[in-house]
């Protein structure tokens, strides 16, 4: 059976390339979130052809959803011959902006040197195409499977997934009684299983001052200097403390195996003028300064402690620094997610990787989050991994590509995993 399944995938190689090219040629840039309906209609036609029942679902009222840029999603389900478990493949259909530095047409899907090029080739239209080919090869080879197969194409992963997986999970589409196994074909590599991701805490910190004439700063209070003290304290105490917090999560790359903090932006004093403004600024002492911080935390940390650590730093400055006053506002939070290595989907995909590639997989955890957070936290489904073709480092870069051999081999792994989960023993 393994051999037949692998051959059925290989026989569809040209189809897989054409499918991936078609998906790349529908530009689904997010923001603003364009052409979601077009790509869902394309997937609808493709999956209906092989017997899937399809549902097109708009995330009405989700962030970014509008008449001009509606947040469309597709969920397709195909029942087997008898009742059993459901295996779900979830791919996001959005891609990030193009940016500069391309030598290929970003929406051309050009094939060169065994690779398909284009925005989203690796993240993650290559994975979506591979999962569809895996499912089609499996259905043709094992028409009497039990349970059900689902494929979803979901919006807005690149902007938090609120108009995509979060909306669907809130509406019960990922409830454990209807879906038991989830594979997200994000580009983690054909020989790696991604178990989850670190947590996120974003906040805006504002220091306060008092406006005065710039020639007499002693009559005011400079909010930018207060922020300078915040940044200085972070350098002295916070960054070393974060570097010392190491995790047992197998996060890649190595630099992310600890807590991290990024200062995302800083703004203080008068607003910047337009580039074509030729006048001078007016002399004022800034009465406010704001930073946005992006704190990534570990499964060993509690989000309450992450927040308390920043507050303690700021409260410390209130005690030692005259007139220091601040506000802090949470912008966004995601708890870490990590599926157990012993979960059925992990064990199944690991043994399929061994069969196809001849070696055991590496287990990794992503430094940033992806839609697993919603499946875990809202859907309450713990049996979820990311597994798919492509090189993670190429995501969001110019000349992004996915290797065709990698797609084919990961499609074989997915097809074998379906057989292990949905074919009754001994057939
Ligand atoms: Zn992605």
For residues 304 and 298, the answer to whether their CB atoms sit within 8 Å is no
3-state helix, strand, coil in the chain (%, to 5): 35, 25, 40
| Dist. CA 370 → ligand 1 center (Å) | 7
| Dist. CA 98 → ligand 1 center (Å) | 14
List the structure tokens of 29. Answer: 């840039």
Number of domains the chain contains: 2
For residues 251 and 296, the answer to whether their CB atoms sit within 8 Å is no
Q: What is the pLDDT of residue 89?
A: 98
Give dist(CA 253, CA 188) in Å, integer.
12
List the structure tokens of 277. Answer: 């403004």
List the structure tokens of 64. Answer: 């970014």
* Residue where a domain stops, chosen among 334, 353, 378: 334
Q: What is the pLDDT of residue 209?
A: 98
Sign of CA dihedral 147, 151, 155, 159: positive
| Dist. CA 1 → ligand 1 center (Å) | 32
Domain boundaries, position 57: 2-197+336-422
Give dist(CA 375, CA 336) in Å, integer.
12
Q: What is the pLDDT of residue 266?
A: 96
Same domain, 129 and 239: no
| Dist. CA 337 → ligand 1 center (Å) | 16
Same domain, 322 and 377: no
Candidates 416, 418, 361; CA nearest to 195 is 361
Give dist(CA 186, CA 397) in Å, integer.
15
Same domain, 323 and 385: no
Give dist(CA 427, CA 420) in Å, integer.
11
| Dist. CA 350 → ligand 1 center (Å) | 21
Q: What is the pLDDT of residue 301?
A: 97
Same domain, 260 and 407: no
Query: How far, rounded to the nearest angstrom, does the alpha carbon of residue 117 sit from its chain's CA centroid?
Result: 20
| Dist. CA 125 → ligand 1 center (Å) | 9
Query: How far, rounded to the nearest angstrom, does the alpha carbon of residue 101 sit from its chain's CA centroid?
Result: 23
| Dist. CA 53 → ligand 1 center (Å) | 25
For residues 132 and 36, the answer to whether their CB atoms sit within 8 Å is no
Residue 126 lies in a domain: yes
pTM of the model: 0.90
Give dist(CA 138, CA 5) in Å, integer.
6
Give dist(CA 363, CA 373) in Å, integer.
18
Phi–psi pair at 97, nearest 5 degrees:
-60, 165
Same domain, 68 and 101: yes
Q: What's the first-to-final CA gap in the chain, in angstroms?
A: 9
Same domain, 101 and 136: yes
Q: What is the pLDDT of residue 324?
A: 98
Q: Which residues of the chain have pLDDT under 70?
A: 426-427
| Dist. CA 8 → ligand 1 center (Å) | 27
- Which CATH number is 165's domain given? 3.40.630.10
């Amino acid at each position: 059976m393994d051999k037949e399944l692998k051959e059925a995938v290989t026989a569809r190689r040209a189809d897989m390339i054409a499918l991936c090219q078609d998906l790349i040629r529908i530009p689904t840039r997010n923001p603003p979130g364009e052409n979601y309906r077009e790509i869902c209609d394309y997937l609808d036609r493709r999956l209906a052809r092989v017997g899937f029942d399809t549902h097109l679902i708009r995330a009405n009222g989700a962030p970014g959803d509008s008449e001009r840029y509606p947040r469309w999603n597709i969920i397709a389900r195909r029942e087997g011959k008898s009742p059993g478990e459901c295996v779900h493949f979830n791919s996001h259909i959005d891609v990030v902006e193009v940016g500069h530095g391309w030598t290929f047409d970003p929406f051309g899907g050009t094939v060169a040197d065994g690779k398909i090029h284009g925005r989203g080739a690796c993240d993650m239209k290559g994975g979506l195409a591979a999962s569809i080919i895996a499912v089609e090869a499996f259905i043709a080879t094992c028409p009497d499977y039990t349970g059900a197969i689902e494929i979803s194409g979901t919006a807005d992963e690149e902007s938090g997934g609120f108009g995509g997986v979060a909306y669907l999970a809130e509406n019960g589409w990922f409830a454990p009684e209807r879906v038991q196994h989830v594979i997200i074909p994000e580009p983690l590599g054909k020989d790696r299983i991604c178990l989850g991701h670190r947590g996120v805490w974003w906040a805006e910190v504002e220091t306060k001052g008092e406006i005065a004439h710039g020639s007499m700063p002693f009559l005011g209070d400079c909010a930018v200097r207060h922020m300078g003290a915040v940044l200085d304290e972070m350098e002295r105490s916070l960054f070393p403390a974060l570097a010392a917090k190491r995790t047992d999560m197998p996060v890649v790359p190595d630099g992310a195996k600890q807590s991290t903090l990024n200062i995302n932006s800083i703004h203080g004093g008068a607003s910047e003028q337009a580039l074509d403004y030729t006048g001078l600024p007016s002399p004022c002492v800034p009465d406010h300064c704001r930073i946005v911080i992006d704190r990534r935390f570990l499964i060993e940390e509690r989000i309450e402690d992450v927040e308390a650590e920043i507050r303690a730093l700021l409260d410390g400055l209130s005690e030692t620094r005259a007139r220091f006053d601040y506000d802090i506002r949470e912008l966004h939070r995601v708890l870490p997610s990590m599926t157990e290595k012993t979960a059925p989907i992990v064990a199944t995909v690991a043994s399929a990787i061994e069969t196809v590639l001849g070696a055991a997989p590496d287990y990794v955890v992503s430094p940033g989050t992806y839609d697993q957070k919603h499946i875990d936290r809202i859907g309450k489904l713990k049996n979820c991994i990311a597994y798919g073709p492509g090189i993670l480092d190429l995501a969001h870069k110019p000349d992004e590509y996915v290797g065709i051999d990698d797609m084919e081999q990961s499609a074989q792994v997915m097809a074998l995993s379906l057989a292990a989960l949905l074919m009754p023993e001994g057939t």
